[in-house]
A and B are shown apart, each in its own frame.
Chain A
Amino acid sequence: MKKLALALTFASLIPAAHAVEYTQVQPEKSAVTFVYKQMGVAVDGKFKKFSSQLNFDPAKPAAAKATFDVELASVDTGAPEGDQEVAGKPWFNTKAFPTARFVSGSVKALGGNKYEVAGKLTIKGQTQDVVVPATFTAQGNTGVFDGGFTIRRADFTIGEGAWAKFDIVANDVQIKFRITASTK
């Protein structure tokens, strides 16, 4: 019995010893940015504050998990008056909905270093299914995830009232991220 227990423990240790799981997100080397179009002009923005939890083992991508919480009031639209406006009621309404959240569901390996992460994105109390293509590049015990996807702001009623039309600020908003994480 003792032998068996020992053998089991040992057996469970072997894969653990080989598995490299990236879990420690490095905020200073990670970024969530976006591109929106204003009368045909692409403008860059970013979120200064976000947190994420990550479990990713390249050997077992299907078991990977990721959660992002983006502090919407930390938005940088490229202009101070834009930041104020977008935090307000017609846009993010950050008083009532301070964070946007992404929770991963299934993760598919597409071959090479490409993956496809399906998940749920919740902004302003509304949840949508999104599929996020991402790449993963390992450098020693740190790995970098790069990806992006496009949302339609109207799906989350971001920009109501006078802003609801798309002639000035387009509906499509491209979201990009770079997450650097290390193994334990």
Chain B
Amino acid sequence: MTYTKTAKALHWLMAILLFGLLALGFYMHDLPLSPDKLKLYSWHKWAGVTAFLLLTFRLFWRITHRPPALPDSMPKLMQLAAHAGHLVLYGLMIAIPLSGWLMSSAKGFQTVYFGLLPIPDLLDKNKELGDLLALVHKSLNLLFVAVLAGHIGAALKHHFIDKDDILTRMLPKH
């Protein structure tokens, strides 16, 4: 039993994109103001919107295609923890780009996808709210990093310690 090709492709495509976004986000934040910094901010926003679009498709796919069940060798509590972990990952993949978008609006810097497609501002410019949403975006990302560490750690444990097929069934050639 394995995942669909589409589910695997989405998983790994988003893994690469999200790692890039995390690294770019933390890196660009501390740069002194320069044309390059502004360029990176724009790229970050475009990549973030792309991640959100991919996620909506991924959610649709997830709902219409049941993933393979977890092996019976896993204790019920562990199965529950795995499902809960995945739910939190999905939640963060929704909440992080949304907070980034709302933050940009509140800070008065509209998001224009690839410099071409303006994404409407749901919030008016408001400095306090902008700063608050920046903190929300950052905190959610720190939480995301922690949950991802657990996610990757669990996958590796399944592969090397439990020696089951949990990791390999997500790999392309399985």
Contact = CB atoms under 8 A, between A and B. Distances in A.
Nearest to B116: A40
Given A78-B108, A78-B109, A39 B42 contact: yes
Contacts of B39: 39, 168
Contacts of B111: 41
Contact of B108 (A40, A44, A163): A44
Contacts of A13: none
A81 B112 CA distance: 21
Interface in B58-117: 107-112, 115-116
Contacts of A163: 35
Interface residues of B, number: 15
A85 B38 contact: no
A79 B112 CA distance: 18
A42 B110 contact: yes
A86 to B, nearest CB: 10
A168 to B, nearest CB: 4
B169 interface: no
Interface string A151-184: 0000000000011010111000000000000000
Nearest to B39: A168
Given A39-B39, A39-B42, A82 B112 contact: no
B38 A168 contact: yes
Nearest to A86: B33
The binding surface of chain A is classed by DSSP as mixed
By size class, the interface of chain A is 10 to 19
A43 interface: yes
Interface string A69-98: 000000000110110110000000000000
B33 A85 contact: yes
A106 interface: no
A162 B33 CA distance: 11
Contact of A38 (B34, B38, B125): B38
Interface string B13-30: 000000000000000000
- Pairs of residues from A and B, 8 with the lowest C-beta to C-beta distance, nearest first: A40-B115, A168-B35, A78-B108, A39-B42, A81-B33, A85-B33, A41-B112, A168-B38
Interface of A: 38-44, 78-79, 81-82, 84-85, 162-163, 165, 167-169
Interface of B: 33-35, 38-39, 42, 107-112, 115-116, 125
